[in-house]
Every structure is written in structure tokens, then in C-alpha cells.
Amino acid sequence: MKFRLKRLAKKQPDRVQIKVQNGQFEIIGMGVWHSYWRDPYHLLLTIPWTGFLLLICISYLAINFIFALAYWLGGDCIANAKPGSFLDLFFFSVQTLASIGYGAMYPKTLYANTIVTIEAMIGLVGIAVMTGLAFARFSRPSARVIFSRVAVITPYNGVPTLMFRTANQRRNLILEAQMRVYLMRDEITAEGGFIRRFHDLKLLRNQTPSFTLSWLALHPIDEFSPLYGMSAESLMQTNTNLVISVSGIDETVAQVVHARHTYTASNILWNSRFVDIFHHTSDGHRYIDYKYFHDVLPLDETG
């Protein structure tokens, strides 16, 4: 048991590097595809498509090269292949691996038939694995949800309120959409210890039956809010971040999709408001102009 624990401990990284930039904590290497080199399945799901296709081509050529070498070591074991022609043996391996079977070349010894059997089994498994990986990459659900570049704190019904906007770029329905907002900041405990603490921020509306166009999130900063009594300076000093998580069911693919966004203290503007994106036409209809989706104005300005 002790030996196994030591082996497992050696597999874990000794250090996890964390970078702090503009109050935002970032784990070095987190989420990038090459960080999964110890986990081949996740590596093949996260590697870019060009790298995925290149890896398949290299693997395919390498497998056929290895089996062509195995046939070559068996001497004259493939009928109708040119004696000593490695290229003919390579293309025979291609036909065997893909179960093509043109019939021009075929094994004529027990050794060759044994290698063909092994290669046929590897070909069946390999095709199934590659097909499954390609399907898994294509079928991964994604949400095209955008968030406003900044959040604002402005009075709403007489109460200072944190606001930010989000919109569904696909123009379809995200059913039973839910939004969670977390505040993270540095705090000192009563014992004098440092802690990175998480707080839930309550929204006036944290779910909607259908998320179609835009969603204005509102968090009242009352005496129960973790932001109560905070200022722009204190947000910077405590490295405050806002982490927003939106999830729901994409009506098109009937799968759960999610999106995440982070606001640092420098992205929270005080005494500002968003430019209105809802407008009326001359015939009484409404429309949304996303050109002003990220725009804000100070409270002392109008229009």
C-alpha cells in the first residue's frame, strides 16, 4: 500500500503556478490542450482539428510502416508482390488495414496470415476508436453566449445595483436557462489567516424559461450583499472577481450547454449605466440593436 501511494504521489505535479493579473487568478496551463498529455482521451478531444487530423495521418502511416516491415522480415510471403519491394508491402498493409482486399496481392505463408490476422483486428479497433473520437468532437455541445465587456454599478429603484448583460448569439432557444454569480475575494480570517473566499450573489431573476435574445442580470447591493460597503479601491485591494455561469438546454440539439465569464475589479464601472439596446420603430414594433451591447455612459450624461 505504501509503495502504491508513493507511485501515485510521484504522478502529481509538485507545483501549480498561479498568475495574478488585474486581480484575476489564472492557473498556468489550465484548459489548454497540451496540458492533457497524461490523459490521451482528453488530449484527443481538446487538441485543435488540424492537430487531430495530422495525428491520425501520422498514426495511420506509422502503423502501415510497422506492418510492412513485419511482412518484409517474413521474406517472400506475399503473393504477386515484387521481391524486396517495401513499397508493395506497404500498400498491401494499407489494403489489409482498411479491409479493401483487391485480391492482386495475398498472403501465402502461415507467417503472413498471422500478421494479416493481427493487422485486421487492429484495423477494426482503430477505425472504431477514430470514428468515436471524431463523433465525440463533433457532438460536443457549445453555447454561443456573449457577455458585456464590463459590469456596472448604478441605482435601480433607489438601490445600488450590480448589472451586466448577456446575449444568445445563435438566435435559438436555450430552455430553462439558469444563471449563477459568484464573488471571489481575498479575506483575512479572525485568526489572521489568508483565505480566498467565495460568495453567492443573489439576482433579482436567476432563471428564465427561454433565453432567446438578451438578459440583463441585476444584483441589489443591500445590507445582505457581499458588495455592501465596498468601493472601487477595496475591490482592487482584495483582488475581487465576479464569475458568471450560465447553463440551459439547447433546443436545437436537446443537450445541456453552458457558458462562463469573469469580471475583474477593473471591469466593474461605478456610477455608470448601459446604453439602451431596445428601440421602437415608427409602426410600433420593437427591435434590438446589438451595436451598443457593450456601451456604457456615466450617470451624469443623458441619451
The count of other CB atoms within 10 Å of the CB of residue 266 is 13
Confidence (pLDDT) at 35:
55
> Would residue 114 be called left, alpha or beta, if left means φ above 0 and alpha means ψ between -120 and 50 degrees?
alpha
**Local confidence band at 193 (pLDDT 50, 70, 90 cut-offs):** confident
Confidence band, pLDDT 50/70/90 cuts, at residue 48: confident
Going by C-beta distance under 8 Å and a sequence separation of 6 or more, which residues neighbour residue 79? 105, 106, 107, 108
Mean pLDDT of 114-125: 94
Which of the two residues, 215 and 103, has the higher pLDDT score?
Answer: 215
Give the phi and the psi of residue 96 in degrees, each rounded to 5. Answer: -70, -45
Q: How far apart are CA 147 and CA 166, in angstroms?
A: 4
What mean pLDDT, rounded, does the chain reach?
84
- Predicted pLDDT of residue 144: 85
pLDDT tens by residue, 221-251 = 999 999 999 999 999 999 999 999 999 998 8
Q: Which pLDDT value is given to residue 12?
A: 47
Structure confidence at residue 183 (pLDDT)? 94
Would you place residue 285 in the very low, low, confident or very high pLDDT band (cuts 50, 70, 90)?
Answer: confident
Give 131-172 pLDDT, tens digit per residue.
999 988 888 777 789 999 999 999 999 899 999 999 988 878
Q: What is the Cα 292 distance to its own chain's centre?
A: 27
Give the pLDDT of residue 281. 79
Sign of CA dihedral 236, 204, 149, 147: positive
Q: Tell me what pLDDT residue 301 has.
A: 59
pLDDT surpassing 60 at residue 300: yes
